[in-house]
């Protein structure tokens, strides 16, 4: 096992808290059940804010952006809510998270300013379904929003110094070493799966005979820029795959590919070849066997 792994990656969690702005209404549920003479047919969850609530919508949108950024820049780990964050990107990651948190906090403050007005609009829209008890006070509501990031060291069996009998400790250290190896394998598969999906889509669209968009080319370019920074284990096969994708696929923009049928043919063939490398790395068979460009119909691609 690479004894330097602990210096190259850490555990990271990002917790995003928001108000759900919905509430189960037992009275409305009972009315529906009585009307249809059927018990347990469903649950009525009412929306507590007007459908058009831009300030609340902005909070939810930014929360989604934070979640996506976290998942895009980290790797799978076998603990719920915890992911692997390579130290190579930590500084940029932390800076971006601080910026996103500032956006989130500002959006929350705007929503809190609008809250009482939105509540009155909801009173009119909900009519008889409005219930004052469903709504937190401003002070209570302000505590329901937040973004928290936490980092911890990656497990290291050599630092596992608990007070236990030596034979038990030896067994636990061995199990921890196996856990570390499995975690690295899981992270590497996560990394390859992302590129595999993008390259497969790229190959399919370059071989397509109908009207397709070439935004997938730019998706591959973005991944080829990001994924090497996530390759904390420096696995040789994985490094080779990333280098092949960068050299043969990422150098071409969607505009380049649109202009040249010959280039599309060459890149499609190379994408299919790299797709095979990734499938072998993951121990799977490519989902679809794409025909060679010589056997396919004329390519027609529209941006």
Output the pLDDT for position 297.
Answer: 40
Look over the chain and give the mean of its residue pLDDT values, rounded to a whole number.
86
Total-model pTM: 0.85
Nearest to 274 by CA among 187, 182, 201, 172: 201
Nearest to 16 by CA among 111, 146, 154: 146
Q: Provide the percentage of residues in the chain whose pLDDT is more than 70.
A: 83
Output the pLDDT for position 158.
Answer: 75
Output the pLDDT for position 127.
Answer: 85
Q: In the chain, what are the domain boundaries?
A: 5-153, 159-282
pLDDT over 70 (residue 27): no
pLDDT over 60 (residue 53): yes
With beta carbons less than 8 A apart as the criterion, state whether 278 and 241 touch.
yes
pLDDT band at 292 (very low <50, low <70, confident <90, very high): very low
The least confident of 45-54, 107-116, 164-173 is: 164-173
With beta carbons less than 8 A apart as the criterion, state whether 80 and 1 touch.
no
Output the pLDDT for position 290.
Answer: 44
């Amino acid at each position: 096992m690479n004894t330097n792994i602990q210096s190259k990656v850490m555990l990271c969690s990002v917790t995003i808290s928001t108000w759900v702005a919905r509430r189960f209404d037992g009275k409305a549920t009972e009315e529906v059940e009585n009307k249809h003479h059927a018990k347990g047919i469903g649950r009525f969850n009412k929306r507590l804010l007007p459908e058009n609530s831009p300030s609340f919508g902005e909070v939810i949108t930014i929360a989604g952006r934070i979640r996506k950024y976290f998942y895009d820049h980290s790797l799978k780990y076998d603990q719920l809510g915890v992911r692997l964050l390579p130290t190579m990107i930590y500084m940029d990651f932390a800076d971006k998270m601080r910026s996103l948190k500032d956006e989130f906090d500002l959006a929350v403050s705007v929503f809190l300013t609008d809250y009482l007005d939105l509540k009155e609009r909801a009173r009119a829209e909900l009519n008889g379904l409005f219930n004052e008890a469903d709504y937190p006070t401003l002070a209570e509501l302000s505590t329901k929003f937040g973004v928290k990031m936490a980092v911890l060291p990656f497990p290291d069996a050599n630092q596992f110094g608990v007070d236990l009998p030596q034979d038990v400790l030896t067994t636990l250290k061995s199990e921890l070493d196996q856990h570390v190896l499995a975690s690295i394998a899981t992270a590497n598969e996560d990394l390859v799966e992302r590129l595999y999906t993008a390259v497969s889509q790229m190959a399919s669209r370059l071989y397509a005979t109908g009207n397709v968009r070439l935004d997938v080319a730019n998706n591959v370019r973005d991944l080829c820029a990001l994924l090497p920074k996530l390759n904390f284990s420096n696995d040789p096969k994985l490094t080779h795959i990333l280098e092949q994708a960068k050299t043969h696929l990422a150098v071409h923009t969607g505009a380049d590919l649109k202009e040249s049928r010959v280039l599309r043919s060459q890149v499609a063939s190379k994408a299919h070849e790299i797709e095979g490398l990734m499938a072998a790395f993951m121990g799977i068979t490519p989902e679809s066997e794409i025909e060679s460009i010589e056997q396919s119909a004329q390519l027609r691609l529209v941006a």
